[in-house]
């Protein structure tokens, strides 16, 4: 595992965790990897929206 990663604790409803675990299993990836991927997409989309508003 890369050493430049930071660990973050997140609290979420059990139903959300279960849904994310199902998604991760369907995509054959870890829950952590799925969450990071979803967060990266969201941040990139937000940054793209901010640049188009300039």
pLDDT at 2 over 70: no
**8 A C-beta contact, residue 20 and residue 35:** yes
Average pLDDT value over all residues in the chain: 92
Percent of the chain with pLDDT over 70: 94
Give the model confidence (pLDDT) of 12-38 as tens digits: 999 999 999 999 999 999 999 999 999
Question: Cα–Cα distance between 43 and 49 in angstroms, integer?
Answer: 10
pLDDT-derived band of residue 3, with 50, 70 and 90 as boundaries?
confident
pTM (global) more than 0.85: no
What pLDDT is stored for residue 54 in this prediction? 66
- End-to-end CA separation in angstroms for the chain: 38
């Amino acid at each position: 595992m890369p050493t430049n990663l930071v660990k973050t604790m997140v609290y979420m409803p059990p139903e959300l965790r279960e849904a994310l675990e199902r998604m991760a299993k369907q995509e054959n990836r870890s829950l952590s990897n799925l969450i990071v991927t979803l967060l990266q997409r969201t941040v990139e989309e937000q940054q793209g929206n901010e640049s188009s508003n300039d």
